[in-house]
Structures are given as C-alpha cells and as structure tokens.
Amino acid sequence: FAAPKGPGPDTYKGWLFKWTNYLKGYQRRWFVLSNGLLSYHRTQAEMAHTCRGTITLATVHIEVGDTCHFVLTSGGRSYHLKAYSEGECQRWVSALQQAKANATQMMPHSDDSGDEGPLAQPDRALIQGALKTLASKLEDLSTCNELIGKHGAALQRSLSELEDLRAPTDGADKLKTVNERATLFRITSNAMINACQDFVDLAEAHSRRWQRALQYEREQRHHLEETIEQLAKQHDSLERAWRESPSTHNSEAFSLSGESSEENEDIEFFDAMEDSPAFITVPADDHSQHRCLFSILFSLCLQDGSGSYLRRGRRCRIPDKPNYSLNLWSIMKNCIGKELSKIPMPVNFNEPLSMLQRLTEDLEYSELLDRAARCDSSLEQMCLVAAFSVSSYSTTVHRTGKPFNPLLGETYELDRVEEYGYRSICEQISHHPPAAAHHVISQRGWTLWQEITIDSKFRGKYISIMPLGNIHLKFHASGNHYVWSKVTSTVHNIIVGKLWIDQSGDIIIMNHRNKDKCHLKFSPYSYFSRDVPRKVTGVVMDGEGCAHYILSGTWDDKMESAKIIESSHGCGGSEGKQKTVYQTLPPKLMWKKYPLPENAENMHYFSSLALTLNELEDGVAPTDSRLRPDQRLMEAGLWDEANAEKQRLEERQRLERRKREAQANLALEEGKEAESHQPLWFEKRTDTETAESSYVYKRGYWEAKDRQDWSHCPAIF
C-alpha cells in the first residue's frame, strides 16, 4: 500500500477507504490534499484526467472516530473515510487540520474578483462606496435639472420680451440679455449631459459585478436545495432498506447515512461491475412456477387499495424503480455494429413498456389534432399537425430506458373514447426486422395510421435508432391527408458518463390533397453551438411554394407559430445563395409540454399518459402488452424474475421461428408456396393518394372485443 506522502506541509497523497453505500461498503480511493482542497480518484493514473470529487477544507468539520475512522462534513454532506492503520489515520487527520487552518487564515485575504465565490467584507465596502458615489451623482443630476428649469424659464421670458420690443434703441440691451441667458442655459445643459454620462458609466461599471454576485447567490441556493433533496432521498432509501432486512446490516453501516450512494449518477454507471459477464444468466423455471408467479402478481394488481389498477380513475404512479447497478459497456462492447434488436439485454436497461406502447404514447397531445380538425385554413391546420409531430418527442428527453421488443403477434389497445374521443390498436407484424402497424380513429374528426420499422445500430459510443416508414393522418371533414416520417434518435455516452438522448434530422410533412408542405429541422446538439439545445425550426408553405408561417421552439418544451406578412432576400447565404428574411407577426403558442408527475425521476420519467399505459384493463386481447409477464414483473420491481421470464419468452419465440422456417423449407421442397406470418388485425394495401404499400387496419378487433371472442389469437405468452 502507498503511504501518505507529499513535498510540502500542505500537500498530501495516499490511499484511503471511502464509504459509498450499504451494498458496496468501503471502496479504496486515491486521495490528494493540496492548496486547501481534498480530492479523490479511483486510481493514481486517473489523476491526469478525472476527479471523482473535491472537498473544500476551509469550511469542513473534521470528526475523528475509532478504528482508523474519521468523518469530513462539508456543505451538508458527510464523507466517511478509513485508513490502513491508526498511525496513518492520525497523520491524515493532522494534515487535514493543518490544511484547514491554513485555508481559514487565507480566506479574509483572498483576492475576490467577483467572478466566483461569495462577497468578502472589502467587496461590501466597495459596493457601499459605489452606492454613495451614485447617490452623489444623482444629487448632481437633480441640481442640474433645477438649474435647467430656472435658466430655461428666464430665457423664455427674454425671448418674449424681445418679441414685444418696439423701440430700436432698446434692442441691443435686450439681445445681450438673451445671449447671456442662452449661454447659461447651454452651460447648464452640458453639465446635465456630463452628469448623466458619469452616472451611466458608473452604473454600468458596477452592474456587471452585481450581476455576478447575484448569479452566485442563485447558484448557491440551487445547490443547497439539491443537497437537501438528495439527503431526503437517501434518508428515505436507507429507511426502506432497514425495514426490508434489518438483521443483515450492522449499526456501523447505518451510522453513515450522510454519504450519498455514489459520487453522482455518471460515476455510479462508470463504477459498475467491471468483471460482469456479457449477459446476465438466470436459471429457467418450469412452467408451473411461471404461472404461479404471474398469478400472484396478477392478483396483487387486482386488489383494492393504494395504487389499485382497476379503480375508475387512471392510476397516477407505479412502483419506484429499484436502484440496481449494471455495467452497460460490459454487455455492449462485443456488439459494436450490430442491430440493437438482436443484442440480448437484461431488463435492467429496459423500461416497463413495450415498443407498441411507446408508439401509442405519441397520442399524449391528441388535443392538437382535435384543434386541427376544427381549422378552416389548411395552412393553420398544417401548423398544428407540425406541432403534434414534434410533441411526440417531448417524453424522450429523460427516457434512456429501452422499451421491450414486442413478440410477433403481440398487440396493444388503448381505448380513450370517453376521455379524449379516440381508440388505438397496434400489432407487431414482423420480428426481424422489428415492425409494427398502428391505427387510431377519433370521434373528433381524424384518423391516424402508420407502419414503423425500427432500424438501430450500436456505434460504440452511441446508439442510433432510425424509425423507417411513414405516418398518415387524415381529417374527415376536409379530406386533408398528411404524411410524414420520424427523425433519428441517438443515445449518447454508452461507454462512460450519463446517458442522454438527442433528436436530429428533417421532417417533411406533405398534404397530398393540395400539396401544402412543412419543413421541420431538428438541430443536433453541439457543444460549440450558440443555439438553444433541442432546437426545432420550420416553415409552412402552400402548394405554390410560398411561405406563410414560421415555426420555432424545442422538441422537449414548446412550439410557436408566427404568420409571415412580408419576405425579402438578404445577403450572406452560403454557397452564394441569398438568405430569405421574413417579417412576421408576434408568435403564438401552439403546444406546451405538460409537467412530469411528482416523483417521475423514480418512475422511469414516465409522463401522466405513460403511467397508465401498462394499467391492467378487463376484456383486452390475450396478446395485449399489458399481460406480458416479464414486463409486469419488471414494473413491480421483481427484476430477477423478469429476467427469467424474458429469457423464457425469447427462447420460445426462437423455437417458433425455427418451426416456421422448417415448414417453409418443407413447402419449397414439395413445390408449394411457403406461408409467411400474417398479421391478425392488419393487411397490406396500396394507398390511392400516395401509392404507398403498407399494412393498414382491416377492422375486426373492436368487434371481437365486444363479443369477447379471442379464439383466433395465438398463445404468445
């Protein structure tokens, strides 16, 4: 072990054990004490590029415990540390106390420029002096104002007397008086102007400093609020853990409740199991155990009480997501270049919704289509359709979990006729490549349908998800038929760091009835760009190519439209092209994202609609995603059981695929035409307006539900 060392009295380096959480316990970290700061790293080599955390010793409280243990408390957070021996612990404590004393002595004499840190006493005196100077300048301005009024009135009287003058002999004297008073007025006016300039210059000189001070105080308040919130979450988590298994934790572990479970989310992901296998293997259970476990879960879902699934009102919460750490890179590192749907993934990286339910979630802002159906102008209608197409991405900003790949023949219905006037049905029509068909009909004047194939690639540092296929929307009254496609979604920081999602690309929305068009551009995030993140811009044009509306906003917050009243060609375009400059009316808000439900961060960041999508309902088809056992178990927090179910379902699907392939090969050998899988509720047709061939709803699902006749449905679960 490396002993503490350092070239100076205020520099110290060495290994210490730092408490992380009650599962991992103490973890060895390399600590560096220098210039009044204590920083820590996972390894010595990591010092060159990564710091796991920094503790300011000027305000730290040092508490020495027993058995080589000591605690540092700073900013509402406690760091529990252990040394290898009593002597080493004493040396560290002495070095920390000396560094704290030095840092405390330096605090009053530090050179505070106002850019960072709180305002020291000299700064307060400086501000008070500046305020006194500004008050003095303000008094000068007031005096000048009185003099200008006085001399101005005198000058006005002299001018009036000059106009009334009749005798030429008196003219010279009066003119002299007027000139004198005009000179006084000019001098006073110049003094007033100079005083105003001094006041403005002084105010500008100090306003920047005050703004920095105000910004610092705001950041400190925000940091304090985050710290308090984090402590409350940790306290609640530890209480739950103690209630679940109090006998397995000793008193020492729970005396460390001031420490966060890890440095932050990024580091927790980076620090996950380095030696984990490429896939989690879970022993398969026999079928009776499957049915028993799922029956218990189903009965729990049906029971009355808090969180009841079958109460009349829609549910507003689901069980909190368990805090299971798993290294995504350990699974994905051997899958670079592969299609995402072919990579075996444990449920730890999923969210408890299927891809069919994610497609249905696009209807969260269906009221935009209700408003569009009432529009008399096709161009205004196009604006609302564009806002609807953008709104479908608003729920993805925090949703880094992967939806479950639906099984072949899996369906999902959403009947919201009573609340929102529409009913929706989805079916998985292909497994490789994964493809789904979706149909929505609304009593409020519109029908939407789509066939989406998901093409995804893992690129090492990020995952690209490219939805292929078009979305169709038709309004019953006008016959306007809109068609558009989706943009590319990218999940970043697969190797290290916090996962985040970006949307990029172009959407062209075409009205096939009158050729109106909208071009939307989703700008990819760039560290060097000055644009607002997640920016979306667009223009709405008529069939002749004339622009009528400008659209702007962000895909995670809102969209606005501004009517164009005049356009002109400017200069400065790229490749010699002229830029078009539009003059518009003030923008109008078309769409604003709903706030997330309370505690959303612990419920997979689900929106209010997403929380209800997996809610059990009576009478749905036996192939409905709500009844998928691995998905239900994951939602209930039983992830080990969910992984076992997922493995069973995937193996069953592979056996079914091999059986179909064998039957197809046998048919070819006999000279017969091989039968492919045929969807139950959708059939392939060619659209008469767009000439596009796709799967569309052939009717029958809702009638079968009314009769409760599901005899044609396959047993896929």
548/584 Cα distance (integer angstroms)? 9
| CA dist list (Å): 661 to 152, 427, 648, 668, 683 | 102, 22, 20, 11, 22
Angle between helix 639-669 and 287-302 (nearest 10)? 120
636/651 Cα distance (integer angstroms)? 23
| Domain ranges within the chain, ordered by starting residue | 11-104, 122-241, 342-568+581-668+696-702
Going by C-alpha positions, the residue among 12, 46, 5 that lies closest to residue 29 is: 46
The neighbour count for residue 160, using CB atoms within 10 Å, is 10
- Mean pLDDT, each 10-residue run in order, the chain (717 residues): 47 88 83 88 81 84 85 84 89 89 65 42 63 75 78 76 65 75 78 78 73 76 73 70 54 36 35 32 38 41 39 80 67 55 72 95 96 95 97 91 92 95 96 92 96 83 88 96 95 80 95 95 85 92 94 95 86 61 92 94 93 94 96 92 90 87 82 82 91 92 95 92
Whether residue 519 contacts residue 548, with contact meaning beta carbons closer than 8 Å, is answered with: no
DSSP 3: P
CATH of 342-568+581-668+696-702 among 2.40.160.120, 1.10.443.10, 1.10.620.20, 2.60.40.2550: 2.40.160.120
DSSP string, 193-232: HHHHHHHHHHHHHHHHHHHHHHHHHHHHHHHHHHHHHHHH
Q: Which residues pair with 448 in a beta bridge?
A: 440, 473
Q: Which regions of 570-681 does DSSP assign to beta strands (E)?
A: 580-584, 588-592
Strand order of the β-sheet with 12-21 is: 53-56, 37-41, 25-34, 12-21, 77-82, 69-74, 61-64
Buried b (16+ CB within 10 A) or exposed e, 684-715: eeebeeeeeebbbbeeebeebbeeeeeeebee
Whether residue 433 contacts residue 381, with contact meaning beta carbons closer than 8 Å, is answered with: no
DSSP string, 135-190: HHHHHHHHHHHHHHHHHHHHHHHHHHHHHH---GGGHHHHHHHHHHHHHHHHHHHH
* pLDDT at 707 (0 to 100): 95
The percent helix, strand, coil of the chain (3-state, each to 5) is 40, 25, 35
* pLDDT at 580 (0 to 100): 81
Q: Which regions of 42-98 does DSSP assign to beta strands (E)?
A: 53-56, 61-64, 69-74, 77-82
Q: Which helix (H) or strand (E) holds 422?
A: strand 422-430
Could you tell me the pTM of the whole model? 0.57
Q: Which residues pair with 447 in a beta bridge?
A: 441, 474
Phi, psi (degrees; rounded to nearest 5) at 522: -95, 110
* pLDDT at 166 (0 to 100): 59
| CA dist list (Å): 582 to 50, 530, 575, 590 | 48, 21, 20, 20
* pLDDT at 403 (0 to 100): 92
430/682 Cα distance (integer angstroms)? 12
CATH of domain 11-104: 2.30.29.30
